[in-house]
Structure 1
């Protein structure tokens, strides 16, 4: 007897079909993502497809165990999600956009994802699962869910980002985007939000002193992100949200037609003045 697709299956297929892979924020992942989305939307098993891709790429977790994607129901009761991935290599994955994008980031940034997971698992192993994650786990979770990599070897552009200098970053230095700086999304919740983008979408930017061309070299960028995460953890610089620079992503040149008008950036509810300036206002 042929199985009848459930309403949930239809909803997941429809959400995958709604992804516009030509949008600039999806383009780093479009080659793998569009094909995967198409076959899954056509009825293929998400887990089977992911496991085939993971095995073909030799993906492993931080302990060197082969990475595999399992149904959420297979996560043992009482076992933390992050601890399970580190202990077994098995990533609990639901049929929804959130977990689809999480898996896609595992395929694109396997070293960085494994390093993030190892950092989280180390804290869980040392302190257990508590009501509050603590600074390190908070930072790791924010990175995992909502990070965007800001690539620039120009320290003045990074300074503009960190100082909330939106006119400098997006207006006066507009022509430097693509030449002196670029971004690559990392957080899977961020990608999920960008399926239906809105002006106030704000990512947690992680600056890396790398030229924009690095975005076209996924393996090299993956290694650099993993190394930067470990260095930050070793130096005690993973401490919640203050580990990052807020970046309203729809202000990025080319990400919204509306931002061609400099008045777009006058909305201080989105392009905030920064903590110091706000306290002085």
Structure 2
């Protein structure tokens, strides 16, 4: 297992549980065994080989309460998420299993399964002011990160997506997560229960996500102290409608008049 920087701000709430398990795995303990030893998850982690051929991963978890787990960071962070958000992870699994039972696996997941997968792999929970939220969702990056920089001290962020966390082990500027907003009244102690209730098929199908270049969060990356960090439009991209307005023929075969 590659070295994990447990001092990274996005891992602040995961370190107490995750670091000792990572040390066991680095010392040679099989990953499922090290994860189960913590006793913190509502499921058991089993080797990937325990997943029967032809059975869907989510369906197997729902039927057995066991999570097929490969060695490596991706499934390591997935397991840590089961420990930190057991109710929300169980809810996502229920939704996935329900959709599989209804429509089968198929080549196309459908809107609910697709959104549940995006959430599971890439979500970051955010609790912030209306001003910051509006600026982020409208991709007014300079306003969100520079003009409103002082409001980030009062903004709470919680990592969830395990694929995103895997990427952060070797950080790069364009890592982008999918924000899911948490109302101001939700206390951290109630976060998992609130999230499990908030993850409804109807809401997921609407895909109420908003992209966030992770290293743009004030205080999370030294380079973003320089305002020029946010001028990189390949990372801090304008909204699609704005891009099309600037390039009205970008998605058309019709050429502008000579």
Given the two structures, how large is their TM-score scaled by the length of structure 1?
0.84
1:63-212 paired onto structure 2 within 5 Å? 67-152=43-128, 154-179=129-154, 181-210=155-184
Aligned match of 1:271: 236
**Secondary structure of residue in 2 paired with 1:149:** strand
Shift of 1:82: 0.5
Structure 2 stretches lacking a partner, 5+ long:
247-258
Aligned match of 2:198: 228
Shift of 1:243: 2.7
Structure 1 stretches lacking a partner, 5+ long:
1-11, 61-66
Given the two structures, how large is their TM-score scaled by the length of structure 2?
0.91
Q: Is 1:22 the counterpart of 2:7 in the alignment?
A: yes
**Secondary structure of residue in 2 paired with 1:243:** coil
Deviations 1:217-247 (A, max 9, x none): 3x421112111113xx2xx23237x431000
Runs of 4+ in structure 1 off by over 2 angstroms are none
Cα distance in 2, alignment partners of residues 225 and 169 from structure 1: 25
| Aligned length, in residue pairs | 246
Contact 1:72/1:94, CA 8 A, preserved across alignment: yes
Cα distance in 2, alignment partners of residues 147 and 167 from structure 1: 22
Shift of 1:185: 1.2
Cα distance in 2, alignment partners of residues 221 and 146 from structure 1: 18
2:203 to 228, 237, 241: 237
Contact 1:139/1:243, CA 8 A, preserved across alignment: no
Contact 2:120/2:160, CA 8 A, preserved across alignment: yes
Shift of 1:27: 1.0
Shift of 1:50: 1.7
1:207-218 paired onto structure 2 within 5 Å? 207-210=181-184, 214=187, 217=188
2:225 to 260, 267, 273: 260
CA-atom RMSD, angstroms? 1.5
